[in-house]
Structure 1
Amino acid sequence: MKKTDNMSLRIGDWVKGRTHDGEIIQGYLEEVNAIQGFAKVKVIECDNKFRRGKTIEVLEHWIEKIPESSEITEEYIGMLIDLALLTKDEEWFMELALIYKSFKSSQQIKDDLFYLLN
């Protein structure tokens, strides 16, 4: 990972990177200590399933901010659903589940049209 500008990382930012064991992580920042050069990341995705849902400490230069996107994708909604489950926010989960269902319905319509046209 390339060195990240300390001033650009803020609590709540979505980040990706590696742990000291080389595991690939994705999550959001819970704490940033620019003076000491570390950050605490709430891990949402990791190739080590036992790290998911845990807060870990990593060196700041091992992570980078995930660019914000105005496009809402099925994958993004899935990540938010994971976050709603982790925070036990039932109302938010239900809202996200409806959005996710609309993505699935939309995909089914596209699949049906493709089948009919071919």
Structure 2
Amino acid sequence: MRKPTWIPIQSGALNESIADAFGVMIKQWGEGKCPKTVDQADWLIGEGIWASDVNGRALRDMKNPGTAYNDPQVGKDPQPAHWKDFKELPLSKDRGGIHINSGIPNRAFFLAATMIGGYAWEGAGLIGTAL
């Protein structure tokens, strides 16, 4: 019986997503002169990374995974936003999809944070720290 290859990838994608969640909470807490609530935040990771001639806003978009960039030079953002679109990839491609599939829990964190409201680190972020 063949073992599914995606099982260890899920933990890697979740690890990547937790890093994104903490990063976006720190960004929301310290951005500008006053902290941003979940409704005021842009939910982008790595904005400003692309050269001016690349059509892209950021490396990842936690609110809308798969929409951070789309350019012939770098391709289209491959992140899925829903489990039904999980990408089973070979280990040679993004270590099986750990960065690509982190869009699924990233979107889940965004949805939880916006449903709870307020500051992400006082609501949904507390859930993550309880892990």
TM-score, reference length from structure 1: 0.24
Higher RCO by CA contacts (8 Å cutoff, separation 6 or greater): 2
TM-score, reference length from structure 2: 0.23
Q: Which has the larger radius of gyration?
A: 1
